[in-house]
Chains A and B, each alone.
Chain A
Amino acid sequence: MSERRIFEHPILDFDRGYEFYFDFEGKKIKAYEGETIASALYADGLRKFTESKKLERPRGFFCAIGKCSSCLMSVDGRPNIRTCVTLAEEGMEVERHGPKAEFPQTDVGRGGERKKEEIEIAVIGGGPAGLMASIVAARNGSEVHLFDEGDDLGGQLVKQTHQFFGSHQEDAGTRGIDIGKELLEEARDVGVEIHNGSKVLGYYPEKKITIESDGRLEIYDSQGIVYAGGAVENYLSFENNDLPGVYGAGGVQTLMNEEGIVPGEKVLMIGSGNVGLIVGYQLLQAGVNVVEIIEALPEIGGYQVHASKIRRAGVPIRASHTIKKAIGDEKVEGAVVQKIDENWNPVKGTEREVECDVICLAVGLSPDTGFLRQADCEMDYVPELGGFVPLRTEDMMTTQRGIYVAGDAAGIEEATVAALEGKIAGAAIYEELHEETEDTRRSKEEAKEGLDKMRKGPYGEVPKQGVKTCTVDEEVCG
C-alpha cells in the first residue's frame, strides 16, 4: 500500500493542516499539521519503533494513547519521548534509541516553576462520564476543573464514528464523535475549567492531586473528586503476540479515525464483542479488508445487528476459534488460527493459516482504577464489570467520602451508561459540598431511571448483577 493516509471516508472528514517534513535518522518524513510523530512514521511505513530490553524483540506502534511505551524515541536530543502523543513539528530531528537511551546532552526541561492551587471540584477524565459530571456540578454553581491527558477531550467518543444505540432521549442515533463535541461545548458554556494535556500523576490525602502538564508539576488541593479515568484494553496470550502489527482495537481506532491512517491492508480481528464488530465495520468503511473475525466462545459476543451488518459485507465470523500464533520476524505477516472445543481445548487438525498484516485484539477492557486504589477506596473483584472496581453508593460515591467514580472506571459498560453515571456523580458531589437543588434532584432521578432502562434485557442483565454486588450503603463510606 503506497498511501496509508485516508483522504476519502464515508463518515469522517480529515481536515489536515499544512504539509511539512521532519528528519528521521537522515530521512525526510512527510507530516501534516496536527499529526503525531508516530502517526507520520507509521504512514511512511515504519513498523519497528524500538526493541525490548532483554531479547531485543521488535516493538512498534501499539496503544496510540501514550500508555504502552512501545514508541519511545529521541526527539531533538530529548530521549524517551512518547511519539504517539507528541505532535510532529517542522524540522524536528527524530531517531530511535532502542531500550537504553543515553543521558541527554541537551537541556531537557520545558517546564518552569511548579504551580499550586486550591480548587473546589477536580474531575479526572474527559470522556462522557467526566464531561457529564463536570457539566452538572458546574451548572449548579460549583467551580469545576476537568483534567484530561489528551489534547482533545471526549475520551473514546472521539473515535466512535457509528450512531449510538440506547434511548432516543440520551442521544441514541447520534454518532459518538458528535456527542463528544456537544458535551465539550456544553461544559465550556457552563464554565468548566478545562485542563487538557494534563496527566494526573497521583493522589495525596486530603484530596490533593498532582498533575504533569507540558513538563511542569501542578498540585491541586480540592474539596471533592470525581474519578472517570476509563479503562485499559485486555491482552491475549499467543506465540509472537508482541510483534508489530498486533494492535489493540482502541489503537486501531485512534490511528484510523483520529489520525486518518489505515493500520494495514488485511486485518484479522480477534473477538466478536461489540468492540470487535464495530471496529471491524469501521475498518471496512476505511477501505481496509477484514479477512475474518474469530471468537473463542461458541456464540458471537456482540449485538446481532452489528454481526449481521459485517456479515453482509462478506466478512466471515467464526465462533469457537482462537489464534495460535502470529507469523513474522519483524512484523506480522500472517496468523495461525484453530478451532477449540467446548472445554477450550484446541481441536487437532483444524489449524489454518490466515494471510494478514494486522492482528487486531478486541478481547475486552478492564477498569483503570490505580488512582482509586491509591486513594484507599475499597475495591472488589466483579467479573461482570470487567475486573476490580470500587465499591460505590447509588450516588456513585466510593468508600472515601467526597471521592466519586463514574464510567468505565466503575465497571465496563458503554458510553450512554458512563454519561448517566457521570450525571449522578456530578449532582451528588454538588449536593455534598452545597445542598440539594431542583436540578440535582431531577438529574439524579432521571439518570437512575435511565440506568435501569439501559440495564434491561439479556445484555443488560450481566452488568446489572455486577453493579448489585458492589453497591453499598452510605454508612460504609468514610
Chain B
Amino acid sequence: MSEYKSTGIIRKEDLEIPSDERLEEGPVVIMECVENIPCDPCVAACSFDAVEMEEITDTPDVEYETCTGCGFCVTECPGLAIFVVDCSYSDENCKITIPYEYIPVPDEGDEVKALDREGNEVQKAVVTNVRQSGKTYAVTIEVDKENVWKVRGFEVEK
C-alpha cells in the first residue's frame, strides 16, 4: 500500500518528474496525479500535444521536452493536481504555479503564506502572477529554490 492511500499526501518518490536538466531549462508542468481514475481534460487542455493518455484511466504521460510550462492545464484539471515549476527563474528562487479556488484571491505583489502538502507554513512568498479561467485561478508565487518540492499551496492572510 502506498503511503498516500492512507495519508492523502503525495511524496516526490510517488511522482514521475522531469530531469534536472529540464527543470533548469525553464517552466515545466508537474502532474501530481498518480491513480488510474477516469479523467482526461488535461489532454485536451494542452495546445502542444505534450500530454498523452491511451485509456481514459491512464495517468497522464507528459512529454517534458514538448511541454512549455505555459500552465494552461493548471486551471483545467478537475482534481487541482497540476502545478508548474520554474527553476530557471534565478539562482536562489523558483516560481510555482498553483490552482486556487478560495476567497480572497490575491493580487500580484501580495505576500502570502506558502504551504506544504499538509497545509503547514513553509515560508512567506510573493505572488508574481494571477490568471483566471472560469472560477479557477492559477496563482504563481516565488519561493526559495530548496522548497520547490515542498510548497504546493498558499494561504492569503486575512
Contacts and interface: CB of A to CB of B under 8 A. Distances in A.
B38 A453 contact: yes
A167 B101 CA distance: 22
Interface string B56-85: 110000000000000000001111110000
B32 interface: yes
A229 B113 CA distance: 46
B10 A304 contact: yes
Given A165-B39, A165-B78, A458-B35, A310 B55 contact: no
Nearest to A168: B44
Interface stretch (B22-30, B88-96, B115-123): B115-123
Contacts of B135: 10-11, 175
A287 to B, nearest CB: 8
A455 B56 CA distance: 10
Contacts of B8: 300, 304, 307-308, 310-311, 317
A459 B38 CA distance: 8
A296 to B, nearest CB: 12
A175 B78 CA distance: 9
B6 interface: yes
A197 to B, nearest CB: 30
A415 to B, nearest CB: 12
Contacts of B10: 304, 308
A382 interface: no
A172 B101 contact: no
- B interface residue count range (under 10 / 10 to 19 / 20 to 34 / 35 or more): 35 or more
Nearest to B14: A304
A352 interface: no
A312 interface: yes
Contact of A308 (B81, B103, B105): B81
Contacts of B116: 312
A176 to B, nearest CB: 10
A77 B38 CA distance: 52
B40 interface: yes
A172 B56 CA distance: 11
B52 to A, nearest CB: 14
Nearest to B6: A319
A165 to B, nearest CB: 4
Given A168-B41, A308-B32, A313-B119, 13 more contacts: A163-B78, A166-B40, A167-B56, A168-B44, A298-B6, A300-B6, A304-B4, A305-B80, A308-B9, A312-B117, A312-B118, A317-B7, A453-B38
